[in-house]
């Protein structure tokens, strides 16, 4: 017979299940009521604003110029037989660079030498004839007309010898021109004409040599800027008191300082500017002819100036600003007035104070008013 369950038995089973489930439900409910873990404040790298002794400066856009620059050209015609250098290599003064075919010019030298020998022989014969006719005239055995004739031949032979000598010198000079040598020490560019081509005075530039050390930086200064230099720096760009620096494309300052060595004597009427040139040592060949640089002219007495890295400066529609970590470790937007650039740093004229902590790394992860964990650069923490 099958077992029959009564209604009370079923109800009791349900009650037991409900009682056993209560602890589990209570545990789940407790876990759901626990607060979510709060993430730690983001870490940012900061530096303290410091004051440095800087001289007043004004910046200009300029270009690097080689002291000497020579375009090599063929001075005689012929096929280019040799190229004896590597493109971009350093060359010494007098070094042989190109050779044009020499056979035709050597043949011209041989012809000129033969012409000299022939003219010398004719002159020798004319000298003998003049002596003979002179003796005959003295003895009244010869005529004066004959003596004048042989004297004229003697003068002609002497002129032929002189002319043949000049022809030989010209032929030798043309032979020398078949060897194209470096007129100065420097770096040579790429060869613009390949070996085997016919070259001559009208064939264009074969290659270019530029000197490397020292080197110039040329920049235009307007009349208004010249007055500003005299006023702000307390110096004249035309004097040795002005110290000149170069800022390269990567923002770094060129390690060598320069001196102004030339200020043009006329003003460009189209731009109202005067061209100024400074001379720089270039021992490591970091500066290249034609390179665009920022020229910084410094002068006057050093004074205390706040400086911060360029990476710490942000710009929006209202102008430049920096993010400062205040005493409560919160981010504060501080509007600033930036001054001249000095290498990788920028001078700050207004908006910051000595000791302020400004954010240099992690700027993208933070917002104004946010609490952050400030780590000073170089602290190792």
Question: Are 310 and 286 members of one domain?
Answer: no
Mean pLDDT of 121-144: 77
| Any domain includes 21 | no
Whether omega for the bond prior to residue 214 falls within 30 degrees of 0, making it cis, is yes
Query: Residue 89: how many CA atoms within 13 Å on its side-chain side?
Result: 11
CA distance 244 to 280: 9
| Bridge partner residues of 71 (DSSP) | 208
Question: Are 49 and 110 members of one domain?
Answer: no
Last residue of a domain, one of 162, 177, 192: 177
Number of domains in the chain: 4
Question: Are 86 and 113 members of one domain?
Answer: no
Question: Are 227 and 277 members of one domain?
Answer: yes
Three-class secondary structure of residue 253 per DSSP: strand
Last residue of a domain, one of 284, 301, 318: 301
Last residue of a domain, one of 265, 284, 301: 301
Least confident residue range of 65-74, 92-101, 158-167, 209-218: 158-167
Mean pLDDT of 132-157: 76
Position 231 pLDDT exceeds 70: no
Range of the domain at 157: 102-177
| Any domain includes 37 | no
State pLDDT tens for residues 338-374: 876 666 777 788 888 888 888 888 888 788 888 888 7
Mean pLDDT of 46-73: 85
State the pTM of this model.
0.61
Least confident residue range of 22-36, 62-76, 117-131, 310-324: 22-36
Q: What is the pLDDT of residue 179?
A: 92
Question: Are 194 and 91 members of one domain?
Answer: yes
| Any domain includes 292 | yes
Q: What is the pLDDT of residue 94?
A: 92
Mean pLDDT of 10-22: 47
| Any domain includes 31 | no
Give the CATH number of the domain where residue 316 resides.
2.40.420.20
The residue ranking higher by pLDDT, 24 or 284, is 284
| Any domain includes 16 | no
Question: Are 310 and 264 members of one domain?
Answer: no
Three-class secondary structure of residue 94 per DSSP: coil
Give the CATH number of the domain where residue 135 resides.
1.10.287
Return the closest-CA partner of residue 144 out of 134, 154, 152, 159.
Answer: 134
Position 107 pLDDT exceeds 50: yes
Q: What is the pLDDT of residue 2?
A: 47
| Any domain includes 32 | no
Average predicted confidence (pLDDT) for the chain: 80
Position 239 pLDDT exceeds 60: no
Question: Are 112 and 172 members of one domain?
Answer: yes
Give, as one character, the DSSP assignment of residue 194: -
């Amino acid at each position: 017979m099958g077992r029959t369950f009564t209604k009370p038995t079923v109800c009791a089973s349900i009650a037991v299940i409900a009682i056993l489930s209560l602890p589990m439900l209570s545990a789940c409910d407790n876990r759901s009521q626990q607060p979510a873990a709060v993430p730690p404040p983001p870490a940012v790298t900061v530096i303290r604003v410091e004051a440095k002794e800087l001289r007043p400066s004004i910046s200009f856009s300029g270009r690097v110029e080689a002291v000497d620059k020579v375009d090599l050209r063929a001075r005689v015609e012929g096929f280019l037989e040799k190229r004896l250098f590597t493109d971009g290599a350093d060359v010494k003064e007098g070094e042989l660079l190109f050779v044009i075919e020499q056979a035709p010019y050597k043949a011209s030298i041989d012809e000129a030498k033969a012409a000299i020998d022939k003219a010398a022989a004719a002159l020798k014969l004319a000298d003998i004839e003049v002596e003979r006719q002179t003796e005959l005239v003295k003895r009244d055995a010869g005529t004066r007309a004959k003596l004048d004739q042989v004297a004229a031949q003697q003068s002609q032979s002497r002129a032929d010898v002189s002319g043949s000598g000049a022809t030989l010198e010209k032929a030798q000079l043309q032979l020398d021109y078949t060897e194209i040598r470096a007129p100065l020490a420097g770096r040579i560019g790429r060869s613009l004409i390949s070996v085997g081509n016919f070259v001559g005075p009208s064939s264009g530039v074969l290659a270019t040599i530029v000197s490397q050390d020292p080197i110039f930086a040329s920049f235009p200064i307007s009349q208004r800027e010249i007055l500003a230099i005299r006023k702000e720096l307390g110096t004249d760009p035309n004097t040795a008191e002005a110290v000149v620096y170069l800022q390269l494309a990567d923002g770094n300052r060129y390690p060598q300082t320069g001196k102004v060595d030339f200020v043009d004597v006329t003003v460009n009427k189209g731009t109202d500017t005067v061209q100024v040139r400074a001379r720089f040592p270039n021992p490591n060949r970091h500066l290249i002819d034609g390179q665009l640089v920022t020229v910084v002219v410094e002068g006057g007495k050093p004074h205390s100036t706040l400086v911060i890295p360029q990476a710490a400066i942000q710009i929006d529609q209202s102008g430049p600003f920096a993010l400062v970590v205040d005493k409560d470790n919160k981010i504060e937007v501080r509007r600033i007035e930036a001054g001249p650039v000095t290498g990788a740093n920028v001078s700050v004229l207004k908006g910051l104070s000595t000791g302020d902590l400004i954010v240099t790394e992690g700027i993208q992860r933070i917002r104004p008013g946010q609490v952050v964990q400030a780590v000073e650069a170089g602290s190792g923490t």
